[in-house]
Structure 1
Amino acid sequence: MGTRDTREIYGGSLGVGRFLRERGLRGTIAYLREHGVRGAVENAREDGRSLLGELRGISVAYLLLAPTLLVSAVFLYYPALEALELSFHQTLFFGGERTWVGLGNYETLLSSSAYHESVAITIAFAATVVVGVMTISLIVSFLLYEVDWGQSGYLIAAIWPYALPPAVAGIVFLFLIHPSIGTLTAVIEGATGLEVDWFSNGRQAFFVVAIAAIWKQLGYNVIFTVAALNNVPATLKEAAELDGIGRWSRLVRIYVPLISPTLLFLVVMNTIYAFFGTFAFIDLMTQGGPGGATNIMIFDLYRNAFEFNNHGLASAQSVVLFAVVSVLMYVQLRFSDERVHYGA
């Protein structure tokens, strides 16, 4: 029996399980009768060395992953489990005495009309931000892609707001639209002759905060979308131009299907951003007002935890928020499954 044949049975190439599946029990017995098992000991030694090398490789891999796993366990998994456990208790401050209330906090949320309104506002806000930033970034990215000269300069101008921390971006945008000192407000008032107060009613405040969130996230989307467009073969563009397909028709009929995996990724990331990454804009610009019109779930959670010290209820809100976002992302992925094309 040769070295290769023995390895086929003893795991070097196919492994015992695969060998049995392919040849069957009778076939394996017949094979052994015909070829014998000589050389098995020598090959077992070589296979042992190979297995030892694989184990060493696995050990090194886990050793390299250990810092990341440790940080994730301390700052992600443990707090998540702690929040889940805390959601079944009533406590007035972190680390204090806890009173078991079971599903009481969740029942409070389900029976609260104010919380129902907050959930509805959050979903509407997230939809506005996601649709707005996806549409605008796709148009801007396509225009940048079509530019023959100076693309890098235009790209930097488009993405610089993303480099700002959320709090700084909120302050900058607030200065632009401030009723008294805002540059944008002054320009609009000078052009229309009307006195503009962006936060005079809930509907205006809602859209102002949404615009600020879109402005901040625009650069992130442009980076990925331009990169995806640059990976589309130039021959497709040339063929479309020869066929007389217009610029915007090319975008919709050719480019969007080809970059749909990137667009799906951005939809998911923008959804997460709209739910979790827009807190600074609400906190700096509206404080959830006027009249609760911008009281999204993450801000309501913050107020319950740090203003009203109701940490059990806030933990229950965090669990519900996580569940809502998870369901939305699942629906997005399932809905987009047949509409996303992987590969050119």
Structure 2
Amino acid sequence: MGLAQLSALLGRDRPRPARSARLMPRQLYSRRALLAGAGVLTLAGCGAATERALSDVTLSVWRYKTTAGNFMAAAGQADTPYQVRYVDLPGGPLVLNAYAAGALDYAYMSEIPPAFALQSGTPLRLIATHQGDVNNSGVLVVKGSSARQFHDLRGRMIAYTPNTNNHYYLLKLLEAHDLRLSDMQAVGLPANDANAAFTRGHVEAIVTGGISALLTESLLGGRWIVRSVAGLYSGNFCISAHPATLADPLKRAAIRDYLRREQATWQWIDRNPERWAALSGTLSSQPAALFQRLAREASRPALIVPPAKTAIASLQHVADDLARFALVRDRFDLSTLWEPGLI
């Protein structure tokens, strides 16, 4: 998909509507209300005029499946003094394309895309770490498969999605078992196609994770042979923003506020797993019990924290692995992408 087509898809070629189902209501806040709220906006030397100007700011925020944007209203965090335009894309390359097109201000991503962004010159900065889950991620085999451990898949067909965390899991698993990609009939497919190939029995195994994995296991009879990537992947994810957005004082203030609202939303999810599961089930038209299980079996709470030295080192380790696996053309220094101080 080219940049022009992506811009058209995201609505950049159309006049901005006065109201949209994807936009939060425009509201004006007094300085007292802003300072009293959960997300505080502060701009040195700016008074009430700044607060009025914030109502004209629109942040384009990526949203997908169980990301926090779907739960901010339930968490009491949706009353932003700026507008939020949610951009629903399936993730991966399309998110990087949206950044390249200038059509996205803020997005959540795994530790895989930043190296590809640096390689392609895609403009983004990393502003926080999302501590994610390493459980219920790994390899499922079809019902009736004779495979009992990962090594048994040698010579068999396994589906994965290229240039994603699932691709990384596969390469790390192969390395841990002294195998190469050529030792299996590995089929790289888009996520939906990989799931379809697995459910129709065209492949014997799939590298998967999260709610998609639980759906496959519970509803379609898949069986885990690797059900945690602990020791292979940190479970960290990155919160990113467009550099041009961060360079604009008002938008930077809005990013800081939205980041803190997302942090508060994940804290709400951690305290209210049953409500989160019910909402997730409604949004996805899937059984809430699967989301309850996802929360119950998580390796740790999903929280947003400032970028720590360990998280920065973990991201660099992944980038070095991607270079070693020849998924990117060279070793990149990802420390240049981090912009601390926003949370």
Bucket of the pairwise TM-score, normalised by the shorter protein: under 0.3
TM-score normalised by structure 1 residue count: 0.26
Instruction: Say which structure is richer in strand.
Output: 2
Greater fraction helix: 1
Larger Rg: 1
Q: TM-score, normalised by structure 2?
A: 0.26
